Amino acid sequence: MKKLVVVALCLLSFAGFAQEDMTVQKSVQGMVAQVQSQLVQLAEAFDESQYDWRPSEGVRSVREAILHTAAANYFLATKMGYASPEDVDWMNMESSIKGKENVIAALKASNEFILAKITEEKAATFDKEVDFGFMKLNRLSGLLVVLDHNAEHKGQLIAYARSNNVTPPWSQVN
């Protein structure tokens, strides 16, 4: 009986130290990372001369679409209560960052930032409301907005690529 009590106490103490189930966070993070990987591949596939191409007046250029996506990663995180890095001016990112290498570096940095924040989310607070400015959602929906927004602009950049005879790297036929 004494051994049974000791085993039970050990199991209870281990349960107390067990980490929260991160299935949702890891799943969303994996999906966002996949979309972001393809966004980076597209950004790298364009020639620097194509970065200022836009399909028509008043529509974001290739560079602006990439930087808008990067800035939105910071924006969405700040709305969820995470401070963006002090050296990042995401509000002026679209107009201030020039050059293909700088644009790709900004995109990669924002990707790393938001992916880290996704895993900081706690399942116990998924139902808490966040005011994103464009609508009020719960925190879990906020994570899904990150995925949706990145995917939306991946699609936009695929259309831009096809319009400029750039084949998305993952769809090239060898």
pLDDT surpasses 80 at 16: no
Question: For residue 80, what is the DSSP state?
Answer: T
Hey, what are 73's tokens? Answer: 């990663």
Position 140, amino acid? L
3.40.50.10420, 1.20.120.450, 3.40.47.10, 2.102.10.10: which CATH number matches 22-166? 1.20.120.450
* H or E stretch covering 68: helix 62-79
Nearest-angstrom CA–CA distance, 90 and 70: 8
- SS3 label, residue 131: strand
pLDDT surpasses 60 at 15: no
pLDDT one-digit tens code per residue, 26-71: 999 999 999 999 999 999 999 999 999 999 999 999 999 999 999 9
Q: Residue 133: which region, alpha, beta or left (left: phi > 0; alpha: psi -120 to 50)? A: left
Nearest-angstrom CA–CA distance, 65 and 52: 10
pTM: 0.86
Nearest-angstrom CA–CA distance, 94 and 67: 5
